[in-house]
A = this chain, B = another copy of it.
């Protein structure tokens, strides 16, 4: 083999360049030339790793989905490790839901990119499959969270689905507002809204 280059690492570098461009200038500016410049490569080099612009975008979409759902999954495992109703569980739940929001630089970039791709998928058919996967993955995690938070077998299955969709919608709306009106939707406001939502869903656990 010639010139030793870790192809997978290279692809990830290019994807990171895509993320930065989407976060700062929007998805429509993520052209091959812009991405190549941002990654410090030539257009031909980027095209060596990604056959077409579409392939680059789909791969980037898949990457951000994997990143986000990975974070959510591990946060959910942390919730499952806590005893139901405890203050520790409450904190773990808040941590899980916080993974949806642009609370730090890395989360903000991912949230930006995720939003951009999901909305683009409405128009670009090549992104539709990943958008489906994204929705399914996140809905599954929120659904499991709702089950963890539901007291016993009391609630009907129908109610669980509705509550999961409600929480998911609230999270996406919060994320959207935090991205689009950051001056209004501050981290503190996010926290307040989350706490209020959890309080309305189930009684706040008594502090030990």
Nearest B residue to A183 via CB reads B132
Interface residue ranges of A113-153 to B (CB < 8 Å) = 115-116, 118-123, 131, 135, 139
Nearest residue (CB) in B for A26 is B123
Interface of A is mostly: helix
In the complex, the answer to whether A165 meets B180 with C-beta atoms within 8 Å is no
- A106 interface residue per 8 A CB criterion: no
* Closest B residue, CB atoms, query A164: B193
Whether A169 touches B177, Cβ cut-off 8 Å, given contacts A25-B123, A196-B163, is: yes
Q: How far is the CA of A74 from the CA of B184 in the complex (A)?
A: 26
Known A123-B26, A162-B192; contact A176-B172, beta-carbon cutoff 8 A: yes
B residues less than 8 Å from A170 (CB atoms): 166, 169-170, 173
Q: Contacts A166-B197, A169-B193 known; list 9 others, CB within 8 Å.
A: A135-B180, A135-B181, A163-B196, A168-B173, A169-B170, A169-B176, A171-B173, A173-B173, A200-B200
Enumerate chain A interface residues (CB-CB to B < 8 A).
25-26, 28, 115-116, 118-123, 131, 135, 139, 158-159, 162-163, 165-166, 168-174, 176-177, 179-181, 184-185, 189, 192-193, 196-197, 200-201
List 27 A-B residue pairs with CB atoms under 8 Å apart, sorted by A's residue number. Answer: A25-B123, A26-B120, A26-B122, A26-B123, A28-B28, A116-B119, A119-B180, A122-B179, A122-B180, A158-B192, A162-B193, A162-B196, A165-B185, A165-B192, A166-B193, A166-B196, A166-B197, A169-B170, A169-B176, A169-B193, A170-B170, A172-B172, A172-B173, A172-B176, A172-B177, A173-B176, A200-B201
A-B CB proximity, top 4 nearest: A169-B173, A173-B173, A172-B173, A26-B123
